[in-house]
Chains A and B, each alone.
Chain A
Amino acid sequence: MVGEREITIEPITRIEGHLGVHAKLDTDARKISDAYAYSPMFRGFEIILVGREPSEAVMITQRSCGVCPVPHALSSVIACDQAYGVTPPPMGVTLRDFVHGAEQLYDSEIGVINLEGPDYSEVAIKKFNTGWWEEAQNKKAERSGVHGFATIADIMTALNPLAGELYLRSLLVQKTAHNMATIFGAKHPHVHSFVPGGIAKINLSVSDIESYLTLLMRNVAFAKELVAASDDLLDFVLAQGYEDVGAREKNLYSVGAYDDPEAYSANYGEMTDWARKRMVSPGVILNGELVTTDLIEQNVGVREFIGRGWYSDQWQQEVETDPAGNKVALEHPWNKRTLPKPGEYAKWDSKYTWVTSPRWWNWKGDGKNHVVELGPLARMWVTAKAGIVPASTGNSLKFELPAALIPGFKCADKMDFEWKIPAKPNAIERVRARAYYNAYSACCMLEKVMKALDLMKAGKTKVWTRYEKPEEGIGVGMVEAMRGSCQHWCVMKKGVIYNYQYQAPTTWNASGRDPDENPGPYEEALINSPITETGDAAGWKGIDIVRTIRSFDPCLGCAVSVHIGKKIVKHELLPFATPL
């Protein structure tokens, strides 16, 4: 037992929600030999949803996460569109995406600078990687013309919590992205305007869109600095032997985002088609190969196992096929039946978490269940490889952001970006992809603003489609949240929710061992990961572990949700179905 140490890190701070990691460290080889990720918090959202109007799920499910509420609202409202059979008008789809894009901007700024940034700040480097500091002071920053920092050490100083320039400015800039979301969302977090059939926005005017654009340009200006500073900093850290920290196989999953407003429909059968027209592509990469970009195939392949979650299962094959006629697995969320069963803490060889174990079943291919990683790295990778969108080259994403002279920002020129598919998924590349996704989202929203003005010119200002709610319906909504795919499934009977299941990206990423004993993505990324932390092993705080976990940008609040049996909660209903 020479050279082994166990470490439990709970709370892992600077993430959303309650997450802990228990790891075994091989202190001689300086690597992590085993790891368990777990969440010790449970609320039971899916239980609270049963018996309510499906449209209420739009409001309630986003409250599982205050960091990424909009993808929940959007996935939920897409599931409702399908269940109710109502397609919103193009302006309704565009305004929903305006809110979604705005949230991605704030979320990536906060993620890279305020949550993950402090791990690479002067304070952290001097404490945990003492050897790097001197080199960082001497290392000139290649892109200082864009971000204004002379050396890598200057960037590190700018990331110091509550003191560094980037840290403080990011907090100010992210406010503008929230403002963008509130113009059409009424408030943020927890936007109240998403309704089946469109969006609740009155008095829509060109000046609303102008306000949005004005605020967007501040984020465009900041994106240039964010990407340039991240590139310089992360290249430096990679060169310190960080290539393998948090590395795992190339198994990646994306559902895409930012719809084509004319193509989007509430018809499940057309989902493959309209999802491929998204500005961020859907798709699954297994062992480095893109196996599909068909969102219907992806939906059918979703299986949620109890794994090491504190639940007991009770499978029932209630949905045999999807609306397109594909056979649906017993463990598909449309069929999922789960009961919470709280268990003892820290039983690593038994149940140890409130997170279940979703896996992607390659049903048209090898027929196996795969552990896939979700997040900006996955969706940039898929989009770059899929070659569907104009920015995609097959191995990179190329796009540009326009010139903008705005006081307080350092780069007024137009800037070209190219995000290249990296050698492997690892902690550093996840952070870098998040920074680039900020810039790519800004680029997509600029295009959407032009689209919205076109719609205004054409007089297509309708934001909502009137409908008659059917008694029964089924739907699935899938869209990318900052930290990965957000997926909602709704089964409506007698006009109310019969079964509602949803999976946040963190449900996948933070999942524990599955029935085949395969660790979840966090665990995979940690196991065999090298340790760079300096000092005596007995005093290690686990900086490499938290950097790896934070590179996934965890959001535990939404990962833990559960449905209970078939119990219909009595709920007095008034017919919103056809507004008066």
Chain B
Amino acid sequence: MSLEEINLIWLEGQDCAGCTISIKQASNPTLIDILTGAIPGLGGLKLAFHPTLMFEWGEDAAKVLIDAMEGKYDPFVLILEGAIPDEGKAGEGVFCGIADYEGKLLKLSDVIDGLAKRCAAAVAIGTCASYGGIPHGNPNPTGAKGLLDYLGRDWTGGLGLPVICVPGCPPRPDNMVQVLGQAVLAARGLAPLPELDEWHRPVALFGSTMHELCPICGFYAEGTDAHGFGETGCLGALGCKGIISHCNNTTWVDGYGGCTGTGVPCFGCTEPEFPDPPTSPFFAKAPAMPFIIENITGMLAHAEMGFERFKPIIESLLPQIPEFIEVLDKQMEEEKDKGRKI
């Protein structure tokens, strides 16, 4: 397939538009850079459908979806924001309709079914679209699930890629443009494909925990806990879930914000279980096991780190030891001689 022109079809399911509001803040590149084709390699992208941003409405908007299902927008990338409800639970009603076409309400799930058959790639933006997020919170009233579950882990798009997930509630602005950007560059043979983890998150962005990247992790290392909000210290006792959350929110965007750096405990909003345990109760302490494991492995690692750091000093002293012993021997001899003289 020719990839000079690529359409983006961005659907909103059980969503809040928060991911859209977030991507509007991206800096590297900005959304405008992408849509105006200002970045070499990322040109030729057209936002064919986006409920919050597109000019068209009503029938004209619905027609884009119908045409896309019939192949008139090939090649296209399917982007989903928001979860997918189980319409089987809605009886004669509907939990998520997204367009009216000729008097018939198009359900989100029907449109996804139609588009998934022919899209070049599918990207789930945000925790709802990835894993179900807030709508799938206990007791999951609408049977909501994410795209990964809905299409299945074995599903692949036209380019041979499985569903790519960019979790976060919402994801950091730059995370979204970076993943979309890399996917497009990779499709055009200009960059490697993103490596994905077991939850289909790009490893380059989600390979570390928030605890590992935490800007105030030094307080944890030195053993200083905060016991109230506004107090400077590790936020673990206030409910921080950084140790179980795969995230890179050291600052939100442009160097401003960032959860733990501001003083806010991490709530694990990038995790598949969010907003249920172990990410919640939000203000309750994270499970102890990761800390215990970290402390044990940490002690051994610290010993090794210490040894590694002192090794040069020890090594620099070693050659001097025979000489030192010689000096000592000499002195001992001298002392003995003195004794003998007395």
From A183-191, A378-386, A447-455, the one touching the partner chain is: A183-191
Give the number of residues in B that approach A within 8 Å (Cβ atoms): 93
CB pair A43 B252 closer than 8 Å: no
Least CB distance, A371 to chain B, in whole angstroms? 25
Q: Is A192 an interface residue (CB 8 A)?
A: yes
Q: Which residues of B contact A16 (CB under 8 A)?
A: 16-17, 52
CB pair A344 B92 closer than 8 Å: yes
Q: Which residues of A contact B283 (CB under 8 A)?
A: 53, 55-56, 195, 574, 576, 579
Task: Please provide the chain B residues from 134 to 171 with a CB less than 8 Å away from any CB of chain A in the complex.
Answer: 134-135, 137-139, 141-142, 144, 169-170
Q: How far is the CA of A546 from the CA of B59 in the complex (A)?
A: 13
Q: How far is the CA of A17 from the CA of B97 in the complex (A)?
A: 11
CB pair B31 A171 closer than 8 Å: yes
Q: Which residues of A contact B133 (CB under 8 A)?
A: 63
Contact A42:B96 (CB < 8 A) given known A66-B17, A178-B25, A204-B230: yes
Q: How far is the CA of A185 from the CA of B97 in the complex (A)?
A: 33
Q: Which residues of A contact B67 (CB under 8 A)?
A: none
Q: Is B254 an interface residue (CB 8 A)?
A: yes
Q: Which residues of B contact A183 (CB under 8 A)?
A: 256-257, 262
Q: Which of B27, B172, B262, B281 lies at the interface centre, i.e. has the most chain A CB atoms within 10 A of its CB?
A: B262
Least CB distance, A11 to chain B, in whole angstroms? 5
Q: How far is the CA of A16 from the CA of B21 in the complex (A)?
A: 10
CB pair A14 B53 closer than 8 Å: yes
Q: How far is the CA of A124 from the CA of B55 in the complex (A)?
A: 9
Q: Is B36 an interface residue (CB 8 A)?
A: yes
CB pair B232 A66 closer than 8 Å: no
Q: Which residues of A contact B141 (CB under 8 A)?
A: 43-44, 47-48, 340, 564
Q: Which of A11, A18, A118 lies at the interface centre, i.e. has the most chain B CB atoms within 10 A of its CB?
A: A11
Contact A43:B134 (CB < 8 A) given known A66-B16, A172-B32, A190-B18: yes
Q: What's the interface size class on A, roughly? A: 35 or more
Q: Is A460 an interface residue (CB 8 A)?
A: no
Q: Which of B52, B227, B253 lies at the interface centre, i.e. has the most chain A CB atoms within 10 A of its CB?
A: B52
Q: Which residues of A contact B277 (CB under 8 A)?
A: 572
From A26-34, A253-261, A409-417, A462-470, the one touching the partner chain is: A462-470
Task: Please provide the chain A residues from 437 to 459 with a CB less than 8 Å away from any CB of chain B in the complex.
Answer: none
CB pair A168 B229 closer than 8 Å: no
CB pair A187 B257 closer than 8 Å: yes
Interchain Cβ contacts within 8 Å, total number: 304
Least CB distance, B76 to chain A, in whole angstroms? 18
Residue in chain A with minimal CB distance to B269: A190
Q: Which residues of B contact A60 (CB under 8 A)?
A: 134, 137, 275
Least CB distance, A14 to chain B, in whole angstroms? 7
Residue in chain A with minimal CB distance to B258: A186
Q: Is B93 an interface residue (CB 8 A)?
A: yes
Task: Please provide the chain B residues from 262 to 300 with a CB less than 8 Å away from any CB of chain A in the complex.
Answer: 262-265, 267, 269, 275, 277, 280-285
Task: Please provide the chain A residues from 326 to 385 with a CB less than 8 Å away from any CB of chain B in the complex.
Answer: 340-346
Q: How far is the CA of A307 from the CA of B228 in the complex (A)?
A: 45
Contact A42:B17 (CB < 8 A) given known A9-B57, A200-B263: no
CB pair A200 B95 closer than 8 Å: no
Residue in chain A with minimal CB distance to B262: A186
Q: How far is the CA of A558 from the CA of B35 in the complex (A)?
A: 29
Q: How far is the CA of A136 from the CA of B263 in the complex (A)?
A: 52
Contact A200:B21 (CB < 8 A) given known A342-B93, A557-B16: no
**Which listed residue (B96, B137, B230) contacts A48, Cβ 8 A?**
B137
Task: Please provide the chain B residues from 89 to 123 with a CB less than 8 Å away from any CB of chain A in the complex.
Answer: 90-100, 103, 105
Q: Is B14 an interface residue (CB 8 A)?
A: yes
Q: Which residues of B contact A53 (CB under 8 A)?
A: 281-283
Residue in chain B with minimal CB distance to A351: B93
Q: Is B213 an interface residue (CB 8 A)?
A: no
Q: Which of B91, B99, B283 lies at the interface centre, i.e. has the most chain A CB atoms within 10 A of its CB?
A: B283
Least CB distance, B228 to chain A, in whole angstroms? 5
Least CB distance, A194 to chain B, in whole angstroms? 9
CB pair B229 A187 closer than 8 Å: no
Least CB distance, B188 to chain A, in whole angstroms? 22
CB pair B229 A11 closer than 8 Å: no
Q: How far is the CA of A564 from the CA of B282 in the complex (A)?
A: 23
Least CB distance, A175 to chain B, in whole angstroms? 5
CB pair B18 A10 closer than 8 Å: no
Q: Is A197 an interface residue (CB 8 A)?
A: yes
CB pair B253 A182 closer than 8 Å: yes
CB pair B170 A190 closer than 8 Å: yes
**Which listed residue (A13, A162, A557) contacts B36, Cβ 8 A?**
A162
CB pair B226 A202 closer than 8 Å: yes
Least CB distance, B122 to chain A, in whole angstroms? 21
Q: Is B61 an interface residue (CB 8 A)?
A: yes
Task: Please provide the chain A residues from 289 to 322 with a CB less than 8 Å away from any CB of chain B in the complex.
Answer: 310
Q: Could you mark each residue 296-309 of chain B with 1 if its beta carbon is under 8 Å from any beta carbon of chain A, else 0?
A: 00000000000000
Q: How far is the CA of A199 from the CA of B229 in the complex (A)?
A: 7
Q: Which residues of B contact A17 (CB under 8 A)?
A: 12, 16-17
CB pair A56 B280 closer than 8 Å: yes
Least CB distance, B317 to chain A, in whole angstroms? 42
Q: How far is the CA of A571 from the CA of B25 in the complex (A)?
A: 36
Q: How far is the CA of A227 from the CA of B110 in the complex (A)?
A: 43
Q: Could you mark each residue 520-560 of chain A with 1 if its beta carbon is under 8 Å from any beta carbon of chain B, else 0?
A: 00000000000000000000011000100000000001100
Q: How far is the CA of A438 from the CA of B22 in the complex (A)?
A: 20
CB pair B259 A186 closer than 8 Å: yes
CB pair A43 B14 closer than 8 Å: yes
Q: How far is the CA of A172 from the CA of B29 in the complex (A)?
A: 12
**Which listed residue (A123, A161, A195, A542) contacts B229, Cβ 8 A?**
A195
Q: Is B238 an interface residue (CB 8 A)?
A: yes
Q: How far is the CA of A377 from the CA of B103 in the complex (A)?
A: 34
Residue in chain A with minimal CB distance to B259: A186
Contact A198:B17 (CB < 8 A) given known A11-B51, A187-B252, A573-B284: no
Residue in chain B with minimal CB distance to A564: B141
Q: How far is the CA of A574 from the CA of B287 in the complex (A)?
A: 11
Q: Is A580 an interface residue (CB 8 A)?
A: yes
Q: Is B248 an interface residue (CB 8 A)?
A: no
Residue in chain B with minimal CB distance to A462: B230
Contact A184:B281 (CB < 8 A) given known A11-B58, A41-B96, A179-B253: no
25 CB-based A-B contacts, threshold 8 Å: A14-B55, A18-B12, A43-B83, A48-B141, A60-B275, A64-B16, A67-B17, A69-B16, A186-B258, A188-B252, A195-B229, A197-B229, A201-B262, A204-B230, A340-B141, A342-B91, A344-B92, A345-B93, A463-B229, A464-B230, A541-B57, A558-B16, A571-B138, A576-B238, A580-B225
Pairs of residues from A and B, 10 with the lowest C-beta to C-beta distance, nearest first: A66-B18, A342-B93, A182-B257, A202-B263, A574-B284, A44-B141, A40-B97, A576-B283, A9-B58, A10-B100
Write the residues of chain A forming the contact surface with B, with a CB cutoff of 8 angstroms.
7-18, 20, 40-45, 47-48, 52-53, 55-56, 59-60, 63-67, 69, 110, 114-115, 118, 123-124, 161-162, 168, 171-172, 174-175, 178-179, 182-190, 192-193, 195, 197-204, 211, 310, 340-346, 462-464, 466, 541-542, 546, 557-558, 564, 569, 571-576, 579-580
Given contacts A53-B282, A59-B267, 20 further A-B contacts (CB under 8 A): A9-B57, A11-B99, A15-B52, A43-B83, A43-B144, A48-B138, A48-B139, A55-B282, A59-B282, A60-B275, A63-B169, A168-B32, A175-B25, A186-B257, A187-B252, A195-B229, A464-B229, A542-B57, A574-B285, A576-B284
Write the residues of chain B forming the contact surface with A, with a CB cutoff of 8 angstroms.
12, 14-22, 24-25, 27, 30-32, 35-36, 50-62, 83, 85, 90-100, 103, 105, 133-135, 137-139, 141-142, 144, 169-170, 172, 216, 225-232, 237-239, 249, 252-254, 256-259, 261-265, 267, 269, 275, 277, 280-285
